[in-house]
Structure 1
Amino acid sequence: MAKWIPRLVMALAAAHFAVFVLASTTFDDMAREGLWNTAPGEPRRAYELWFLLAGFGLLALGTLSRRLVRDTGRLPAQLGWYLLAIGVPLLVLYPVSGAPGLVLVGVLALLTSRQQAKAAGPARDPRGR
């Protein structure tokens, strides 16, 4: 499961990019205006911009956690906590959004991390004690 969690996070990022490309109604206008300072004062533009940037954030979390799993064999619990820290407030503020996906993957990440920690046994001091 540890290898699938980062893939799920990257799939959420891909969904963000796909929705942005398919559903953006303002990016063309922003590009025509030169992009510089075209979002302030325009709620729809700001919303779509943050949606795109959230996709990059999810991509970063997914690729970094994939690298950690590959290098250490373990999924860091921090990934689950980060996803919950993003997903839970978003679920409260925008219940009809992708927030349930973030919460679900965050819980799966925490459960997987906990399972791996139990299987590894007690933590050891870096000096070998």
Structure 2
Amino acid sequence: MKQFVVKTIANAGALAVAVGLLDKISLTGSSTGKKVGTLLVVALLFGLVNFLVKPVLQVLAFPLLILTLGLITLVINALMLLLTSWIAGKLDLSFHVSGFGTAVMGALIVSIVSWALNMALPDGKD
């Protein structure tokens, strides 16, 4: 359970960095607390999408994974970010990613920052 919370916080932090660096990823809200709450819900949603949908896409894209030496993973991550943005829109959350190019850059940022935060934050394993 502790590891789930740490990963969710790392995802929220990584999404916050992407929102801060890229103009076409937007997070709106009337207060900082509302933005933080939205980021946490979007991070949970992003984790759920990555848990349920990403493995299916990875299996379907396995030949491309071999052919591109793993670079298709960045495209899959971008699609997961776009799907999260679409679902967030359906749930009236104020998180939006505009365009595939922005999603690719956002996925790259989220992957790097999430990896770094997961390394820095304690996960409860000894």
**TM-score, structure 2 length as denominator?**
0.33
In terms of fraction of residues, the more strand-rich structure is: 2
Taking CA–CA contacts closer than 8 Å with sequence separation of 6 or more, which of the two structures ends up with the larger relative contact order? Answer: 2
- Which of these two proteins has the greater Rg computed from alpha carbons? 1
**TM-score, structure 1 length as denominator?**
0.32
